[in-house]
Amino acid sequence: MFIAATIIVIIDQLTKRLAVWRFAEPSGDHIGIIPGFFELCLVYNEGAAWGILQKQRLVLITISALMLCFLVWKRREFINDGRFQAIAAGILAGGIAGNLVDRVLTGKVIDFFHFYWKTYDNSFPVFNIADSAICVGMFLLFLSQLLLGKKAKEAKDEVKKNEEVKDAEEACK
Protein backbone atom coordinates (compact mmCIF):
# COMPACT_ATOMS: atom_id res chain seq x y z
CA MET A 1 0.00 0.00 0.00
CA PHE A 2 2.69 2.47 1.00
CA ILE A 3 4.87 1.86 -2.07
CA ALA A 4 1.93 2.44 -4.44
CA ALA A 5 0.95 5.59 -2.54
CA THR A 6 4.50 6.95 -2.67
CA ILE A 7 4.78 6.30 -6.40
CA ILE A 8 1.48 8.11 -7.06
CA VAL A 9 2.50 11.12 -4.95
CA ILE A 10 5.86 11.41 -6.72
CA ILE A 11 4.35 11.17 -10.22
CA ASP A 12 1.55 13.58 -9.25
CA GLN A 13 3.88 16.20 -7.80
CA LEU A 14 6.36 15.94 -10.69
CA THR A 15 3.64 16.37 -13.33
CA LYS A 16 2.16 19.32 -11.45
CA ARG A 17 5.58 21.01 -11.27
CA LEU A 18 6.01 20.41 -15.01
CA ALA A 19 2.63 22.03 -15.69
CA VAL A 20 3.48 25.06 -13.56
CA TRP A 21 6.91 25.33 -15.22
CA ARG A 22 5.44 25.09 -18.73
CA PHE A 23 2.50 27.44 -18.26
CA ALA A 24 3.89 29.74 -15.52
CA GLU A 25 0.44 31.24 -14.80
CA PRO A 26 -3.11 30.20 -15.68
CA SER A 27 -3.50 32.44 -18.74
CA GLY A 28 -5.74 30.45 -21.04
CA ASP A 29 -2.66 29.07 -22.78
CA HIS A 30 -2.95 25.40 -23.65
CA ILE A 31 -1.24 22.62 -25.57
CA GLY A 32 -3.61 20.72 -27.83
CA ILE A 33 -2.93 16.99 -27.73
CA ILE A 34 -6.00 15.65 -29.54
CA PRO A 35 -7.89 18.54 -31.20
CA GLY A 36 -11.51 18.74 -30.08
CA PHE A 37 -10.93 16.24 -27.28
CA PHE A 38 -7.86 16.64 -25.03
CA GLU A 39 -5.42 19.39 -24.07
CA LEU A 40 -3.02 20.39 -21.35
CA CYS A 41 -3.55 23.68 -19.53
CA LEU A 42 -3.04 25.13 -16.05
CA VAL A 43 -5.86 25.65 -13.58
CA TYR A 44 -5.66 26.30 -9.84
CA ASN A 45 -8.60 24.76 -7.98
CA GLU A 46 -9.31 26.09 -4.49
CA GLY A 47 -12.08 23.53 -4.01
CA ALA A 48 -12.65 19.83 -4.56
CA ALA A 49 -14.01 17.85 -7.51
CA TRP A 50 -16.08 19.91 -9.93
CA GLY A 51 -15.17 23.01 -7.92
CA ILE A 52 -17.29 22.17 -4.86
CA LEU A 53 -16.28 23.58 -1.47
CA GLN A 54 -14.43 26.51 -3.03
CA LYS A 55 -12.11 28.35 -0.61
CA GLN A 56 -12.73 25.75 2.13
CA ARG A 57 -9.04 24.92 2.52
CA LEU A 58 -9.17 23.87 6.17
CA VAL A 59 -12.23 21.67 5.62
CA LEU A 60 -10.59 19.95 2.62
CA ILE A 61 -7.28 19.48 4.45
CA THR A 62 -9.13 17.99 7.43
CA ILE A 63 -11.20 15.62 5.28
CA SER A 64 -8.11 14.49 3.36
CA ALA A 65 -6.05 13.94 6.52
CA LEU A 66 -8.89 12.01 8.17
CA MET A 67 -9.34 9.81 5.09
CA LEU A 68 -5.61 9.03 4.99
CA CYS A 69 -5.65 8.17 8.70
CA PHE A 70 -8.72 5.97 8.17
CA LEU A 71 -7.06 4.12 5.27
CA VAL A 72 -3.93 3.43 7.32
CA TRP A 73 -5.88 2.50 10.45
CA LYS A 74 -8.33 0.14 8.71
CA ARG A 75 -5.97 -1.20 6.03
CA ARG A 76 -5.86 -4.71 7.51
CA GLU A 77 -9.63 -4.95 7.60
CA PHE A 78 -10.30 -4.13 3.97
CA ILE A 79 -7.02 -5.29 2.50
CA ASN A 80 -7.48 -8.85 3.60
CA ASP A 81 -7.48 -10.52 0.20
CA GLY A 82 -3.97 -9.76 -0.93
CA ARG A 83 -1.89 -7.57 -3.12
CA PHE A 84 -4.65 -6.31 -5.45
CA GLN A 85 -6.51 -4.56 -2.64
CA ALA A 86 -3.26 -3.23 -1.15
CA ILE A 87 -2.29 -1.67 -4.48
CA ALA A 88 -5.80 -0.25 -4.95
CA ALA A 89 -5.74 1.29 -1.45
CA GLY A 90 -2.26 2.65 -2.14
CA ILE A 91 -3.42 4.29 -5.37
CA LEU A 92 -6.32 5.87 -3.48
CA ALA A 93 -4.09 7.03 -0.61
CA GLY A 94 -1.51 8.41 -3.05
CA GLY A 95 -4.18 10.45 -4.81
CA ILE A 96 -5.51 11.86 -1.55
CA ALA A 97 -1.96 12.66 -0.37
CA GLY A 98 -1.00 14.27 -3.69
CA ASN A 99 -3.81 16.80 -3.50
CA LEU A 100 -3.27 17.23 0.24
CA VAL A 101 0.33 18.33 -0.42
CA ASP A 102 -0.96 21.06 -2.77
CA ARG A 103 -3.60 22.25 -0.32
CA VAL A 104 -1.14 22.43 2.57
CA LEU A 105 1.64 24.15 0.59
CA THR A 106 -0.35 26.50 -1.65
CA GLY A 107 -4.00 26.42 -0.59
CA LYS A 108 -5.05 25.20 -4.02
CA VAL A 109 -4.71 22.12 -6.20
CA ILE A 110 -2.87 22.26 -9.51
CA ASP A 111 -4.91 20.74 -12.37
CA PHE A 112 -3.82 20.40 -16.00
CA PHE A 113 -5.61 17.58 -17.89
CA HIS A 114 -8.58 18.92 -19.85
CA PHE A 115 -10.98 16.70 -21.81
CA TYR A 116 -13.78 18.19 -23.88
CA TRP A 117 -15.93 17.28 -26.86
CA LYS A 118 -15.45 19.61 -29.87
CA THR A 119 -16.12 22.81 -27.89
CA TYR A 120 -15.48 23.96 -24.34
CA ASP A 121 -19.24 23.92 -23.78
CA ASN A 122 -18.92 20.12 -23.67
CA SER A 123 -16.09 20.09 -21.18
CA PHE A 124 -15.08 17.80 -18.33
CA PRO A 125 -13.51 19.57 -15.32
CA VAL A 126 -9.72 19.96 -15.50
CA PHE A 127 -7.98 17.41 -13.29
CA ASN A 128 -4.59 15.88 -12.39
CA ILE A 129 -2.86 12.56 -11.63
CA ALA A 130 -4.02 12.60 -7.99
CA ASP A 131 -7.65 13.05 -9.02
CA SER A 132 -7.30 10.13 -11.43
CA ALA A 133 -5.67 8.01 -8.72
CA ILE A 134 -8.55 8.69 -6.33
CA CYS A 135 -11.10 7.56 -8.93
CA VAL A 136 -9.08 4.53 -10.04
CA GLY A 137 -8.29 3.50 -6.44
CA MET A 138 -11.95 3.73 -5.42
CA PHE A 139 -13.07 1.79 -8.48
CA LEU A 140 -10.49 -0.96 -7.87
CA LEU A 141 -11.43 -1.25 -4.18
CA PHE A 142 -15.10 -1.44 -5.10
CA LEU A 143 -14.36 -4.04 -7.77
CA SER A 144 -12.26 -6.08 -5.35
CA GLN A 145 -15.05 -6.07 -2.80
CA LEU A 146 -17.47 -7.35 -5.41
CA LEU A 147 -15.14 -10.07 -6.68
CA LEU A 148 -13.02 -10.95 -3.66
CA GLY A 149 -15.72 -10.25 -1.10
CA LYS A 150 -17.83 -13.01 -2.67
CA LYS A 151 -14.91 -15.45 -2.39
CA ALA A 152 -14.31 -14.46 1.23
CA LYS A 153 -17.98 -15.04 2.06
CA GLU A 154 -17.88 -18.45 0.38
CA ALA A 155 -14.74 -19.36 2.34
CA LYS A 156 -16.34 -18.26 5.63
CA ASP A 157 -19.49 -20.25 4.80
CA GLU A 158 -17.32 -23.32 4.10
CA VAL A 159 -15.52 -22.95 7.44
CA LYS A 160 -18.85 -22.56 9.25
CA LYS A 161 -20.23 -25.64 7.49
CA ASN A 162 -17.13 -27.66 8.48
CA GLU A 163 -17.46 -26.51 12.10
CA GLU A 164 -21.12 -27.54 12.14
CA VAL A 165 -20.25 -30.97 10.76
CA LYS A 166 -17.49 -31.36 13.37
CA ASP A 167 -19.88 -30.30 16.16
CA ALA A 168 -22.49 -32.78 14.92
CA GLU A 169 -19.91 -35.60 14.82
CA GLU A 170 -18.79 -34.82 18.39
CA ALA A 171 -22.40 -34.73 19.56
CA CYS A 172 -22.99 -38.21 18.14
CA LYS A 173 -20.01 -39.71 20.02
Instruction: Domain ranges for the chain, please list them.
Output: 2-172
**% of the chain with per-residue pLDDT over 70:** 90
Catalytic residue among 12, 121, 131, 157: 131
Q: Say yes or no to pLDDT of 137 above 70.
A: yes
Q: Please tell me which of 1-15, 71-85, 155-169 the model is most confident about, judged by mean pLDDT.
A: 1-15
Q: Does the annotation mark 121 as catalytic?
A: no
CA 146, 10, 68, 113 dihedral sign is negative
pLDDT band, residue 98 (cuts 50/70/90): very high
Q: Does the annotation mark 81 as catalytic?
A: no
Residue-wise pLDDT for 5-50, tens only, equals 999 999 999 999 999 999 977 777 889 999 999 999 999 999 888 7
Strands across the sheet with 30-34, in order?
Answer: 30-34, 38-45, 109-117, 119-123
